[in-house]
Amino acid sequence: MLSHVLSSAAVAFLVLAVSAGAVAAQTRDKVRLIISTSESFELFAPEQALAEGYFAKENLDVSIIYGDGGAATMQTIITGSQDIVTGVGGTSVLAAYSKGAPVKVIGNGKRGPGPVVWYVRMDSPIKSLKDMEGKTLVFSRPGATTHIAAQYILKETGIKAKLVSVGGSAASRTQVMSGQIDTGWTIPPAGFDLVLRNEVRIIASADTDAAGLRNVPIRVTAANSNWLEKNRDVARRFVRAMWKGVVFNHTGGEAPIRRYAEKWKIDLALAKKAPEYLTLESQAPHQLGDLDLLIQLALDDKMINAPLTPEQRRNLVDIVYNPLTD
């Protein structure tokens, strides 16, 4: 009889515990996140924040999906099917905002073009950017980081290559290796297995060949402004937790690297090199950088038709979290 009573009590306790956990999950603030592109180490912070419990500690229930870069990713924010986007090209946000879309920049994602590289097959006659005249230089989607950097490189060098949108880095890899396009793009260490096997050679690097963009908010975190108006504190807690994920990416030793490698099926030895291509400071959420140059780039590329008015500039940005003060 005693064992029966203890057993019943244990069952009752378990039911209560499970019920309490379910209620706690239900009361968490939901955030629907889209990350602009997959496989990038610099955009893996939300996955780290989810796995390490940083979002849960902020009382957030965050769902994560991946986009295909640029304007295509921004559509999910414009329509309200997602609440926040991170890693999206700054000019994509400007283009949508200038057309009256309900979007607002809530933090820096990455200042500078970062570690994007372009490569060709080893048997290609293209040895460097100088050989790109009349060839195809690829990018993911209009307004994406790859698009901004590729346009800037051609403008600075005066090379008359044809810009072609190919989608994500995996699609780029398939097309270049099958001979459909001249170049491919990737963000190290993804795709570097091809380099190690001498199947491709790198011909350009955004960090080197587009160095003039180093203080520009190439990638940003943005939100649907209608959602943000009602959920600013949620957005603040979200960015705070995501920043912890960024810091963990850089300071967590092998654990964050292993998680990244397993998620995207990247060789661990290659994955360990990922932090070498980034700096923590360039990803600080409160340091937006040179917004004027970003606006000029959007004008030059005809992504916006006129400079932003002072009022438009004020309404475009709402930095919801500063790690130095919060």
Burial of residue 68 (number of CB atoms within 10 Å: 0-12, 13-18, 19+): middle
Residue 24 located in a structural domain: no
Could you tell me if 234 and 206 lie in one domain? no
Radius of gyration of the chain (CA): 22
Running DSSP on this structure, what letter comes out for residue 282?
Answer: G
- State which amino acid sits at residue 304: I
| Judgement on whether residues 108 and 221 belong to the same structural domain of the protein | yes
pLDDT of amino acid 119: 96
Whether 245 and 287 map to the same domain: the answer is yes
One-letter amino acid for residue 132 of the chain: M
Number of domain units in the chain? 2
326 inside domain: no
Is 222 inside any structural domain? Answer: yes
Distance CA 271, CA 258 (A): 8
How far apart are alpha carbons 137 and 184 in whole angstroms?
A: 8
Alpha carbon distances (Å) from 218 to 24, 58, 141, 159:
37, 27, 14, 22
The Cα–Cα gap between 112 and 98 comes to 22
Would residue 2 count as lying in a domain? no
Are 243 and 282 found together in one domain? yes
Report the b/e string of 153-164 with b at 16+ CB within 10 A: bbeeeebebeeb
DSSP 173-221: HHHHHTTSSS-EEE-TTTTHHHHHTTSEEEEEEHHHHTGGGTTSEEEEE
Domain end: 147, 182, 213, which one? 213
> 321 lies in a domain?
no
Residues 193 and 140 in one domain: yes
Of 187, 213, 239, which closes a domain? 213
pLDDT of 134 reads 94
**What is the per-residue pLDDT for 103?**
98
Q: Residue 10: which H helix or E strand, with range?
A: helix 2-27
Asked if the structure places residue 39 within a domain, the reply is: yes
- Tally of CA atoms within 13 A in the half-sphere of 61 that contains its CB: 10
Residue 26, pLDDT score: 64
Domain span including residue 179: 117-213
221: its two tokens: 């975190």
Do 98 and 228 lie in one domain? The reply is yes
pLDDT tens string, the chain, 326 residues long: the values are: 444 444 555 555 555 555 545 545 569 999 999 999 888 898 999 999 999 999 999 999 999 999 987 778 999 999 999 999 999 999 999 999 999 999 999 999 999 988 889 999 999 999 999 999 999 999 988 878 889 899 999 988 999 999 999 988 889 999 999 999 999 999 888 778 888 889 999 999 998 899 899 999 999 999 999 999 999 999 999 999 999 999 999 999 999 999 999 999 988 988 998 888 888 999 999 999 999 999 999 998 889 999 999 999 999 999 999 999 98
What is the structure's pLDDT at 24?
A: 52
Q: Which of 157, 185, 213 is the last residue of a domain?
A: 213
Residue 149 lies in a domain: yes
Calculate the alpha carbon distances from 237 to 164, 264, 323 in Å. Answer: 38, 27, 11
Is residue 324 domain-resident? Answer: no
Q: Contact, 85 vs 55, CB < 8 A? A: no
The pLDDT, as a whole number, for residue 54 is 98
- The CATH code of the domain that includes 188 is 3.40.190.10
Q: Are 248 and 256 in contact (CB under 8 A)?
A: yes
307 and 247 in a common domain: yes
Q: In this structure, are 165 and 230 located in the same domain? A: no
What is residue 79's predicted lDDT score, i.e. its pLDDT? 97
Co-location of 35 and 74 in the same domain: yes
Whether 234 and 208 map to the same domain: the answer is: no
DSSP 279: -
144: CB partners within 8 A, 6+ apart: 36, 37, 69, 70, 88, 89, 92
The reply to whether 240 and 196 lie within a common domain is no
Residues 282 and 144 in one domain: no
